[in-house]
Chain A
Amino acid sequence: MTAANKALLELSGVGKHFGGLAALSDVSLHIRRGEIYGLIGPNGAGKTTLFNVVTGLYQLDEGTFTFDGVAYAHCKPHVLAEVGIARTFQNIRLFANMSALENVMVGRHVRTRTGIWGALTRHAAARNEERAITQRARELLRYVGIERPHQTLAKHLSYGEQRRLEIARALATEPALLALDEPAAGMNATETESLKALLQTVRASGITVLLIEHDVKLIMGLCDRVAVLDYGKKIAEGVPEEVRRNPAVIAAYLGGEPASPSSSGEEVGVEE
């Protein structure tokens, strides 16, 4: 019980600047093991920047972050992938000219070992590993619901399928934390619905999910807790319903909208 409640990812005082622009300033938050944690905020609030910091693509300027109790400032992306942080990208970044299957197989790279020698000789261990990689990749493609032939090139998949393929590829790295950058962007209502179901299954399998999303309905229906960023600062954090009623959030995020918090609450509808 205590282990389940311990923070998996913890940011304290994280700052990231681009020239004079503070994309993140003094952001502190903690994500508990097993929860779905939402990260919302207006465009340019710094959400993607936060992802890039925790996945090692950007190096933070201030503060620290720990993952599973270990501090990982100034680490290479592949190290963070290895310790169990996997992500998807806001602007889909698949390996376009590789097949759907190969894309997921690349995700297995970090959990497998075969090197040049194994590739050349294909000794028993290498063959077994290769078979396991293929099998796991196929399972994951089915798991995220890609029905197309697995040999289809990633670039020939539909938009929704590409988003799900990114999730499959990230899951292939066996993450403890799955960070999704606007996975529902560009999806229609049915696709979003099945994405929601998928993320619930993912969470049920014990993976913690960090979710950036603009789709308020999805966030409200899915997340255990939500943090709101605005101009690089965390302006609110808590259970979705609470955050939605927070005046600072309304001002920043829903600011332009005429609807009052309560009426928008009825409209969106809290899950169950």
Chain B
Amino acid sequence: MRNVPDSLLHPGKRNAWLAFTALALVLLALPFATDALLGRGWVRIADFALLYIMLALGLNIVVGYAGLLDLGYVAFFAVGAYCYALLGSPQFGLHLPFWVVLPLGALLACVFGVLLGAPTLRLRGDYLAIVTLGFGEIIRIFLNNLNAPANITNGPQGISMIDPIRIGGFSLGSTHELLGFTFPSVHLHYYLFLCCTLLVVFVSLRLEDSRIGRAWMAIREDEVAAEAMGINTRNIKLLAFAMGATFGGAAGGLFAGFQGFVSPESFGLTESVMILCMVVLGGMGHIGGVVLGGVLLALLPEALRNGAGPVQQALFGKTLVDPESLRMLLFGLALIVVMLVRPAGLWPSVQRRRELIADDGVVQQEQDTVYDSSK
């Protein structure tokens, strides 16, 4: 068993590289392929999918790692988005640059994360969910009503004509010619969001496998034991809230710059629930699963919206059910089915694999044990 031929091991590594390169190429070519095959609207949907993935990964830190059920996560998204909108639009005539507003929004969201976290430290499970839900609603209601006596947020009308994302002199709001290719605005946003998503994935991966990540998971598994082992649960939980909120705030800033318009309507409870669904459906605490959940849940409603009409036409010759209402019906059904069939999520962290990919000596030992017991 020890003499595993090298030829058996190396192809695995090469295959991994091949898969990696292929994935990179697919991701790079995706906006052009989508544009050509499905139309520009779908590139836009892909952009939103990336934003959702960022949000889901941020929430995954709070819910998946630290086990703190947060139903108001979209509030941080709102904070980031409004920070960008207020500082980069005609609303106050401020047009601060992107590289100032985005980090500022993330920082502000981080502060809000701590503000929300601090009073909820003693709460767990359902109680925490209720308080965070309330927090999310409070933020939305504030945004809705901060138009009087002094008009700050412009109330339900929201803020429009937000500055496009501009990096140096390069504005993502317009079409650019580069290296002989034409890059429309949605394509440019796609690449920016892709970079941000990869950064968030990287940060998540690094945090997961670290002293802090282990402390989060320890709290998730057993808070009392974690405390007794010397983990300052207050600080570590606040850190989880802060990190998650930071990602949410950054995604919010990108959202505002991309969409050019924000209103409180975009930050309702359904959004929070949607993001939570991505985390839970994909596989809580597992980055791959959360990304998958984000992709599926961002695309599925759109696919249903666009597909339900034509499919009905083809089957029955006429549209029987309004695609818009059918969309949510099928969506809910899909969620229920997935949770019934795969309660741990579509792609949960592969614990079995973790048990098998032990260091060499240990695998050997396990196999020996099996051998001994069969004698």
Contacts and interface: CB of A to CB of B under 8 A. Distances in A.
Given A151-B354, A152-B355, A115 B212 contact: yes
B363 interface: yes
Contacts of A133: 211
Interface string B341-375: 00000000001001111110011011000000000
Contacts of B207: 116, 119-120
Nearest to A96: B221
Interface in A106-128: 106-110, 112, 114-116, 118-120, 122
A86 B224 CA distance: 13
Contacts, number: 124
B217 interface: yes
A136 B131 CA distance: 40
A94 B214 contact: no
Interface stretch (B122-130, B226-234, B332-340): B226-234
B230 A78 contact: yes
A217 interface: no
B233 A93 contact: no
B227 A93 contact: no
Contact of A81 (B230, B354, B359): B230
Contacts of B233: 78
A97 interface: yes
B203 interface: yes
A167 to B, nearest CB: 12
Nearest to A83: B230
B358 A149 contact: yes
A98 interface: yes
A106 B214 contact: yes
Size class of the contact patch on chain B: 35 or more
B210 A109 contact: no
A26 interface: no
B230 A82 contact: yes
Contacts of A55: 228
Contacts of B221: 94-98
Contacts of B225: 89, 93-95
A150 B359 CA distance: 9
A169 B211 CA distance: 15
Interface string A137-156: 00000000001111111001
A56 B229 CA distance: 11
Contacts of A93: 222, 224-225
B56 interface: no
Contact of A57 (B224, B232, B365): B224
Contacts of A108: 211
Interface in B24-67: none
18 contacts: A78-B227, A78-B231, A95-B218, A95-B221, A102-B214, A107-B229, A109-B229, A109-B230, A116-B212, A120-B203, A129-B211, A130-B210, A148-B366, A149-B363, A150-B359, A151-B357, A151-B362, A173-B229
Closest A-B pairs by Cβ, 10 of them: A110-B230, A81-B230, A119-B210, A95-B221, A93-B225, A149-B362, A77-B227, A149-B358, A151-B358, A106-B218
Interface of A: 55-57, 76-78, 81-82, 86-87, 89, 93-99, 102, 105-110, 112, 114-116, 118-120, 122, 129-130, 133, 147-153, 156, 169-170, 172-173
